[in-house]
Amino acid sequence: MDQYKVREKSLPQQISIGIICGIILLPVMIFYLVQNYIIAEPLPLGSTVPSAIISTMNGECVRTDSLLKQKGIFVFFSPTCSHCEHLLVSLEILYKQYEEYFQLYAISNGTMSMTREFIMRNNLSVPILLDTIGNVRKLYKVSVVPAIFFIDASKVLTEYRTGEIKNEQLAELLNLFQRTGNTKNQ
């Protein structure tokens, strides 16, 4: 009968189990809070995009509103994000067809060295800007990368997308944006 006795856990065992449960539950709770309470809605469609000072890869400071001479796209990314890498590599290929119709700027939240390594690893030629302290990201209310903002010639936000975008969707978005200045079928 003794073999079927339920052993009571000692205090150190109970503490260990509590710590393990906490380690498992903490990331889940943080994810839930971020998804439901902290992530801000991006800029409203139809609003004029804000202007901010941002650094080029050469160390120059420029205003974001002076960059766009025609309609354009801002892509916010992280050099450590695989979805961002896929999007920028796809944009690099597709943009060659559209560069006369709109401008493209990629905005990195990484350091200069991380971003330089990312550019070299992916053989990117699109203009890349640095938002290492997050000023531009905050103004555009970007909480998830990659984030792609479509801006018309009047500097009005016509569309944004966040997260992974399939190549076919990206090609369709760029084609519509090139033809209409918008990403919706008209």
pLDDT (tens place) for every residue of the chain, 186 residues total? 555 555 666 777 778 777 887 787 776 666 555 554 555 677 899 999 999 999 999 999 999 988 888 899 999 999 999 999 999 999 999 998 888 889 999 999 999 999 999 999 999 999 999 998 899 999 999 988 999 999 999 999 999 999 989 999 999 999 989 887 655 544
Q: Is 125 part of any domain?
A: yes
Question: In this structure, are 171 and 140 located in the same domain?
Answer: yes
User: Can you give the residue range of the structural domain that contains 25?
Assistant: 9-38
φ/ψ of 173, rounded to 5, equals -60, -45
The burial class, CB within 10 Å (0-12 / 13-18 / 19+), for 74 is: buried
Q: What pLDDT does residue 62 have?
A: 93
Per the CB < 8 A criterion, the answer to whether 165 and 172 are in contact is no
Question: In this structure, are 80 and 153 located in the same domain?
Answer: yes
Q: What pLDDT does residue 155 have?
A: 93
Per the CB < 8 A criterion, the answer to whether 71 and 153 are in contact is yes
Q: Is 45 part of any domain?
A: no
Q: Is 70 part of any domain?
A: yes
Question: In this structure, are 31 and 120 located in the same domain?
Answer: no
- How many domains is the chain partitioned into structurally? 2
Question: In this structure, are 63 and 32 located in the same domain?
Answer: no
Residue 104 and residue 141: Cα distance in Å, rounded?
19
Q: What pLDDT does residue 61 have?
A: 92
**Cβ neighbours of residue 28 closer than 8 Å, sequence gap 6 or more:** none
Question: In this structure, are 67 and 33 located in the same domain?
Answer: no
Q: Is 46 part of any domain?
A: no
Q: Is 107 part of any domain?
A: yes
Q: What pLDDT does residue 31 have?
A: 59
List the one residue out of 44, 53, 40 whose CA is nearest residue 135: 53
Q: In what order do the strands lie in the sheet with 61-63?
A: 61-63, 53-56, 128-130, 103-108, 72-77, 147-151, 157-162
Q: What is the CATH number of the domain that holds 160?
A: 3.40.30.10
Q: What pLDDT does residue 186 have?
A: 44
Q: Is 1 part of any domain?
A: no
Plot region of 134 (φ>0 → left; ψ -120 to 50 → alpha; else → beta):
left
